[in-house]
Amino acid sequence: MSEQSTAKRDTGRETAVSLDEVAVRFRTRKRDVTALREVSLDVPMGEFVAIVGPSGCGKSTMLKLVAGLLKPSTGDVRLRGDKVSGPRHDIGYVFQRAALLEWRSARKNILLQAEMRKMPSEQARKRTAELIEMTGLQGFEDALPHELSGGMQQRVALCRALLHEPPVLLMDEPFGALDALTREQLNIEMNRIWRETGTTVLLVTHSIAEAAYLADRVVVMTDRPGSIAEIIDVDLPAERDYAETMARPEFARVTNRVRGLLGAGGAAD
């Protein structure tokens, strides 16, 4: 059990995501902002990584780099070995707001992904049905977004992000707008869905408990300009019962370490 794992990992598995000495500087008319500096991180295929850190330290910026929505000012970002040089299609993205089309049913919102990617319709329909079952949305396939709870809307957004079976799923505070009980429920489902799909996940969260419950490793960022303060291995089995996990000494060790690194002004739970 290591207190701190290295940013560069040799696990024998293919690397899904790698950031090498990445810096991001934004130049606006009023000021220059260094959002990230010297960030290096390797994420092996199938790993679940949670990223926590103070507001404005560059967490969303990291995800945007991986998605190819932003270019680093210096350094390299690679997805499955290829240098990221523009928007990538082999990722799924889930945001804090589900951003569903109000006039389309749950099923048709999920299928939007297939339309954008011109997936064969039979394959898309089959995968949609599987995902609806996996996320417990059966019976709500034809409901419009306003007829769904916030948690259900996020499940639809998750199905949409997973439809094309992306090897890498980027999640930016996906459960941040949900009430505590729904969030807990979705955390439990997320652990199962991650195990069932085998996808690599990068999750940005402000919840230390969520990070420790879901992740293989927790990346703790410093205040802006964001860099990696420490990467903490979570030495727990992949399949995690919620209450039992929370009661484990390893869970307490990880959450205490993250809290210690973030200090009083850091992420809230």
Ligand X SMILES: Nc1ncnc2c1ncn2[C@@H]1O[C@H](COP(=O)(O)OP(=O)(O)OP(=O)(O)O)[C@@H](O)[C@H]1O
- Residue 26 touches ligand X, criterion: CB under 6 A: yes
Q: How far apart are the first and last CA of the chain?
A: 24
Give me the least distance between CB of 135 and ligand X, in Å please: 25
**Which string of x and - marks every residue 169-208 that binds ligand X (by CB under 6 A)?**
----------------------------------------
CB–CB of 83/101 below 8 Å? no
- In this complex, which beta carbon is closest to ligand X, that of residue 173 or of residue 216? 173
Select from 1, 10, 12, 28 the one that contacts ligand X (CB under 6 A). Answer: 28
User: Which segments of the chain does DSSP mark as H helices, in order?
Assistant: 59-67, 106-117, 121-134, 150-162, 180-197, 208-214, 242-246, 249-262
Q: Given strand 32-44, what is the order of strands in its sheet?
A: 32-44, 15-27, 74-79, 82-83
- In this complex, which beta carbon is closest to ligand X, that of residue 55 or of residue 123? 55
Select from 224, 248, 253, 259 the one that contacts ligand X (CB under 6 A). Answer: 224
CA distance 200 to 167: 6
Give me the least distance between CB of 90 and ligand X, in Å please: 22
- Residue 35 touches ligand X, criterion: CB under 6 A: yes
Give me the least distance between CB of 43 and ligand X, in Å please: 18
Sign of CA dihedral 7, 13, 14, 16: negative
- In this complex, which beta carbon is closest to ligand X, that of residue 50 or of residue 57? 57
CA distance 219 to 190: 19
Q: Enumerate residues 6+ apart whose C-beta is below 8 A from 237.
A: none
Q: According to CB under 6 A, which residues from 43 to 62 bind ligand X?
A: 53, 55-61
The contact set with ligand X (CB under 6 A) reads 26, 28, 33, 35, 53, 55-61, 224
